[in-house]
Amino acid sequence: MSERLIVSRDGSPLEDSQIDANFSDMHPPLNKTQAKVESSRCLYCFDAPCIRACPTSIDIPKFIHQIRTQNLTGSAITILSSNIMGGTCARVCPTEILCEGECVLNATGEKPIKIGNLQRYAVDQYLEGNNPHPFNRAKSTGRRIAVIGAGPAGLACAHRSAVQGNKVTVFENKAKPGGLNEYGLAAYKMADDFARKEVDFLLKVGGITIKHGQVLGENLTLANLQSEYDAVFIGTGLGDVNNLRVEGEHLNGVQDAVTFIEELRQTAEKHNISVADNVVVIGGGNTAIDAAVQAKRLGAQNVTLVYRRGTDQMPATEWEQDLVKTNNVNVIYWSKPIVLKGGEKVEEVTFERCILKDGILTGTGNFFNLRADLVLKAIGQMLDKNPLAGLSIENRKIRVDEKYQTNLQGVFAGGDCINSGEDLTVQAVEDGRKAAESMHDYLENKNG
Amino acid sequence: MADLKCKIAGIESINPFWLASAPPTDKKLNVVRAFEAGWGGVVWKTMGYDPPVINVTSRYGALHDSNRGVIGINNIELITDRPLEVNLQEIREVREEWPDRVIIGSMMAPMMEKLWKDLAVKIAEAGVHGIELNLGCPHGMCERGMGSAIGQVPEMVENATRWVREAVDIPVFTKLTPNITDILLPAEAAKAGGADAVSLINTVNSIAGVDLDIMAPLPSVDGKGTHGGYCGAAVKPIALHMVGDIARNPDTRNLEISAIGGIGNWRDAAEFIALGASGVQVCTAAMLYGFRIVEDMIDGLSRFMDEKGYKAISDFQGLAVPNTVDWNDLNMNFDLKAEINKDLCIECGRCHIACEDTSHQAITKKAKADGGMEYEVVNDDCVGCNLCLHVCPVLDCITMKPVDNGLPHLTWPEHPENPIRVAKKEK
């Protein structure tokens, strides 16, 4: 597997084995020699900028030094102590704008240390090694904590809370735990069911129960949880998606990219998914990229990603943007959808070329059509406010104070549903952990 | 390009690069490959009396840096394990086929005059240009009363040297062991015995590592290990010191020196020559990379000499010797301050933490407005120790600037704070 698309040599449709190969590990794990070479390149900086760039402040020079000294268990524990989902973050973090982007070697003209790959090397070694869970729980506090959402924020909060000696119940609406790690990230970044393996590892700490099929606002209310538990953490992420708000949006064949990715992630053998010949993805974020690249890797003939602005404004990182190109996805910038046309199902999308006029995106009056059998909408997710009545909302997210507490006493929140930073797994993990610590302080003070 | 032709103990060589007595010079096949590659000479692997020795498996241990670079190797191999006549016959053949290349025969024998003399004569008769006495092997052979067991006793060094000197009329190289407290004692003994040259250093007594699974020294032979001879880049500083000591010692300064010890490239060779050596011997670097390394040794040394205007090796041989002095002769008024080039600094913080934790707290760390860190030398606290310069990963980022303090040259014996100072010498 590689970042490049596996195409059939003669242009004929992909064979099943090629499709499956397209969804194996995009970046194979480092082998022993590679890990040695790479860890040796690290300068072991003091007060290192890579640590400052990591939302979870992993002691990166230390864990790399530990790889170098062949103290792999110590290395994994250094990582996991700061970030219990270090395995996923190693795979999916946009390291080019975080730790690796700040690596001092960039300034020498050398390539930065492959921090993500080394982190994966250490964590995988530990998780695969049938090792005991590395963190012990403090003696029981007798307290019960409710966590809504078994995504990275919720699980990180649950883990920390369990370590503090609390009993934690996680309420999850989907059938599997993991949140976007399980349902959202591109399949080739999370190969071999890693999301599940990581959750299994995390739960080994003990004291955490996950209840599935629990939907806030339906069979679950915040008020009940508040009365039954000592504290509540909300890590529900962004449950809703933005709409195009153009005619034809509800035609068959028009789908949220999030749903497309989710179905793809939940299909064991990717060659069983039939993909349309002409796929149009609308949007410019990492979700749009993940949808476009995966559609291409499923064997779609033509995949076109259309973004209303230019490459510099694209929320997707440079690495993600490059991925689109190496995977033969067509990209059209400065174009917005005007109308989706079709009969029983979508057949064509009309776009209008755009320019920036006095800082405002403006149609030019030039139109073009793209043939489309499948349109994937990826213009952003948003908070589903309906089940969150009573919570103060600010900038379209749940408002929390610096202690991650919402306007409701004893109700905390973290992850994509709050405005803590970028909507990244690593940020969610940090939020969950920090919120657990705040909850602990809050309960100690309240009872003490 | 400068001509590298040189004379070592009177022996003409097309260049100063010889292979040391070791596995690479154990037989004709290797030696011919070395000559094809361009080596000026070889010291044939040490020969002794038949029956030949028998070696064990395994034989080498190594000290690696974290990136698998070999810092040093240690070995527990003995002298040649082939019959003497096989070696002598091959020497005769190579001498005939490669008339412009040097072959020195290395030998060892128990401490009996007749044994040393008879073997030396046999080897000389095979046509070698000189004989090297292996008085340094620190493993195995010393347990049989040879090698370093002789080299560590100056009287024996003198005797063995004299016996061979009396027996043959070709140059005699006495090879010294570094496993002693003062290299001058065996060097002076070799001179007293009539050596034309000393070869040094032989390998350093060592254990390459410990296998923590089987709890045995490395290299391990069926679960047991023994000390071996350490060589390679790691021993170069030890060798430079010993070569320099012999070169600047009045009693030994006329001895020619065939330098050995961690020489892996032309620069290493030039350093030994600058410290007084007439030529150099190489082993470990060839064992790591093959004989081809001599190509750049020849090329690099010639270019260095061109650049500096040296027409012959002898033009720069020993030039660093007068500058190699006792601590008491150093100028205590000389002062340096570190200077960090902020344009080159990558903000790794290594200089800061090294100075802060282990030296003089003379490099401060300040957060910059743009989020980075700024490191700055506090001149009042900087003692000019060079530590920051050595830990800095960026070339030329930290430089040491001499301070123009206007103070005269002052040594410790002359220093006012020295309770047993002497009067300052008048220039």
The Cα of B63 is separated from the nearest Cα of chain A by a number of Å equal to 14
Pick the residue from chain B with its C-alpha nearest to A47.
B349
CA A327/CA A296 separation, integer angstroms: 7
Calculate Rg over the CA atoms of chain B.
24
The torsion region of residue B126 among left (phi > 0), alpha (psi -120 to 50) and beta comes to: alpha
End-to-end CA distance of chain B: 41
Asked if B349 lies within 8 A of A48 by C-beta distance, the reply is yes
User: Do A325 and A266 belong to one domain?
Assistant: yes
Q: How many CA atoms are closer than 13 Å to the CA of B125, on its beta-carbon side?
A: 9
Residue B427 banded pLDDT, cuts 50, 70, 90: low
State whether B359 and B227 are in the same domain: no
A–B: how many Cβ contacts below 8 A?
Answer: 43
Same domain, B268 and B388: no
Same domain? B269 vs B390: no
Residues B231 and B342 in one domain: no
Count up the domains in chain A and report the number. Answer: 3
- The CATH number for A173's domain is 3.50.50.60
Q: Is A369 among the domain residues?
A: yes
**Cβ of A33: how many Cβ atoms within 10 Å?**
9
**pLDDT digit string, tens, across residues A246-290:** 999 999 999 999 999 999 999 999 999 988 999 999 999 999 999
Q: Are residues B308 and B332 in the same domain?
A: no
Q: Are residues A231 and A349 in the same domain?
A: no
What mean pLDDT is predicted for residues B78-107? 98
User: Predicted confidence band at B407 (pLDDT cuts at 50, 70, 90)?
Assistant: very high
Distance (Å, whole) CA B128 – CA B125: 7
Asked if A47 has any chain B CB less than 8 Å from its own CB, the reply is: yes
B309/B339 same-domain check: no
B363 and B400 in a single domain? The answer is yes
**The CATH number of the domain where B369 resides is what?**
3.30.70.20
Question: Which one, of A223, A262, A162, lies nearest residue A391 by Cα?
Answer: A223
Q: Which one of B64, B65, B66 makes the best mutation probe of the A interface by having the most chain A beta carbons within 10 Å?
A: B66
- Residue A267 inside a domain? The answer is yes
CA distance B246 to B199: 11
> Is A20 part of any domain?
no
Q: What is the CATH number of the domain that holds B282?
A: 3.20.20.70
Q: Is A70 on the interface with B (CB under 8 A)?
A: no
A34 and A118 both lie in a single domain? yes
Domain final residue pick, A77, A103, A128: A128
Neighbours of B409 (CB within 10 A): 14
Query: Where in the sequence is the domain holding A116, given as residue range(s)?
Result: 27-128
Query: Encoding tokens for residue A65?
Result: 């030094």
Is the pLDDT reported for residue B124 higher than 70?
yes
SS3 B365: strand
Task: Flag whether residue A227 sits within 8 Å of chain B, measured between CB atoms.
Answer: no
pLDDT tens-digit map of A222-257: 999 999 999 999 999 999 999 999 999 999 999 999
On whether residue B1 sits in a domain, the answer given is no
Residues B292 and B349 in one domain: no
At which of B265, B289, B316 does a domain end?
Answer: B316
Asked, for residue B167, whether it belongs to a domain, the answer is: yes
Q: Which helix (H) or strand (E) holds B224?
A: strand B224-225
Task: Determine the 3-state secondary structure of B94 from DSSP.
Answer: helix
Same domain, A289 and A215: no
Residues A264 and A360 in one domain: yes
Rounded Cα distance between B416 and B424, Å, is 10
CB B136 within 8 A of CB B177: yes
The answer on B401 and B255 residing in a single domain is no
| Cβ neighbours for B15, distance < 8 A, ≥ 6 positions apart | B4, B5, B6, B38, B39, B40, B297, B298, B301
Tokens of B340: 């960090």
List CB contacts of B84: < 8 A, sequence separation 6 or more: B47, B48, B49, B50, B52, B119, B122
More confident residue, B321 or B424: B321
- B35 and B162 both lie in a single domain: yes
Counts for chain B of helices (H) and strands (E), in that order: 13, 22
In degrees rounded to 5, what are phi and psi of residue A230?
Answer: -70, -30
Question: What is the rounded average pLDDT of the residues B183-206?
Answer: 98
Cβ–Cβ below 8 Å for B346 and A107: yes
Assign B1 a pLDDT band (cuts: 50, 70, 90). confident
Cβ neighbours for A79, distance < 8 A, ≥ 6 positions apart: A58, A63, A86, A119, A122, A123
CA–CA–CA angle A240, A246, A251 (5° rounding): 80
The predicted model gives B174-196 an average pLDDT of 98
Lookup: tokens for B64: 């690696």
Q: Is residue A190 part of a domain?
A: yes
Residue pair B41/B19 in contact by the 8 Å Cβ criterion? yes
Average pLDDT, chain B: 96
What phi and psi values does residue A17 have, to the nearest 5 degrees? -65, -35
CATH number of the domain that residue A84 is part of: 1.10.1060.10
More confident residue, A5 or B418: B418
> Tens digit of pLDDT for each residue in B217-232?
999 999 999 999 999 9
The kind and range of the H/E element at B366 are: strand B363-367
Residue A255 lies in a domain: yes
A274 with A346, same domain?
Answer: yes
pLDDT at B422: 80
* Closest in A47, A48, A108 to B365, CB measured: A47
- Contact yes or no for B402/B335 (Cβ under 8 A): yes
**Within-domain flag for B322:** no
Q: Are B53 and B81 in contact (CB under 8 A)?
A: yes
Active site residues of B: 137
Are residues A391 and A232 in contact, defined by beta-carbon separation less than 8 angstroms? Answer: no
DSSP secondary structure string, B119-170? HHHHHHHTT-SEEEEE----SSGGGGT-THHHHTSHHHHHHHHHHHHHH-SS
**B346 and A47: CB-CB below 8 Å?**
no
Query: Helix, strand or coil for residue B386?
Result: coil
Domain presence at residue A136: no
Question: Residue A158: beta bridge partners?
Answer: none
* A291: its two tokens: 């949808």
A44 inside 8 A of chain B by CB: yes
Check if the beta carbon of residue B367 is closer than 8 Å to that of residue B376.
no
In a domain, A2, yes or no: no
CA distances (Å), A129 to each of A58, A115, A133, A412, in order? Answer: 22, 21, 11, 35
The answer on B389 and B308 residing in a single domain is no
Q: Which of B267, B294, B316 is the last residue in one of the domains?
A: B316
Q: Are residues B27 and B153 in the same domain?
A: yes
State the residue range of the domain holding B365. Answer: 327-414
**pLDDT tens across B244-266, in order?**
999 999 999 999 999 999 999 99
Counting the structural domains of chain B, the total is 2
Residues A328, A422 within the same domain:
no
Nearest to A47 among B68, B373, B393 (CB): B373
Give residue B425's pLDDT: 60
3-state secondary structure string, chain A? CCCCCCCCCCCCCCCHHHHHHHCCCCCCCCCHHHHHHHHHHCCCCCCCHHHHHCCCCCCHHHHHHHHHCCCHHHHHHHHHHHCCCHHHHHHHCCHHHCHHHHCHHHHHCCCCCCHHHHHHHHHHHHHHCCCCCCCCCCCCCCCEEEEECCCHHHHHHHHHHHHCCCEEEEECCCCCCCCHHHHCCCHHHCCCCHHHHHHHHHHCCCCEEEECCCCECCCECHHHHHHHCCEEEECCCCCEECCCCCECCCCECEEEHHHHHHHHHCCCCHHHCCCCCEEEEECCCHHHHHHHHHHHHCCCCEEEEECCCCHHHCCCCHHHHHHHHHCCCEEECCEEEEEEEECCEEEEEEEEEEEEECCEEEEEEEEEEEECCEEEECCCEECCCHHHCCCCEECCEECCCCCCECCCCCEEECCCCECCCCCCHHHHHHHHHHHHHHHHHHHHHHHC
A269 with A357, same domain: the answer is: yes
Given this model, what pLDDT does residue A212 score? 98
Give the nearest chain B residue to A67 (CA atoms): B66
CB contact under 8 A, B346 and A105: yes
Distance CA B186, CA B151 (A): 7
Q: Which of B282, B316, B350 is the last residue of a domain?
A: B316
Query: Does A356 share its domain with A373?
Result: yes
Each of the 448 residues of chain A gets a pLDDT tens digit; together they read 567 777 665 667 888 988 998 999 988 899 999 999 999 999 999 999 999 999 999 999 999 999 999 999 999 999 999 999 999 999 999 999 999 999 999 999 999 999 999 999 999 999 999 899 999 999 999 999 999 999 999 999 999 999 999 999 999 999 999 999 999 999 999 999 999 999 999 999 999 999 999 999 999 999 999 999 999 999 999 999 999 999 999 999 999 999 999 999 999 999 999 889 999 999 999 999 999 999 999 999 999 999 999 999 999 999 999 999 999 999 999 999 999 999 989 999 999 999 999 999 999 999 999 999 999 999 999 999 989 989 999 999 999 999 999 999 999 999 999 999 889 999 999 999 999 999 999 999 987 6
Residues of chain B whose beta carbon is less than 8 angstroms from a beta carbon of chain A are 65-68, 346-350, 352-353, 365, 371-373, 393-394
Q: Within this chain, do residues A319 and A400 fall inside the same structural domain, yes or no?
A: no
Using the Cβ of A343 and the Cβ atoms of chain B, whether some distance falls under 8 Å is answered with no
In a domain, B422, yes or no: no
- Residue A139 falls inside a structural domain: no
Measure A84 CA to nearest chain B CA, in Å: 27
- Do residues A247 and A377 both lie within one domain? yes
Under the phi-then-psi rule, with left for phi > 0, alpha for psi from -120 to 50, and beta for the rest, what region is B178? alpha
pLDDT of residue A129: 92
CB contact under 8 A, A108 and B349: no
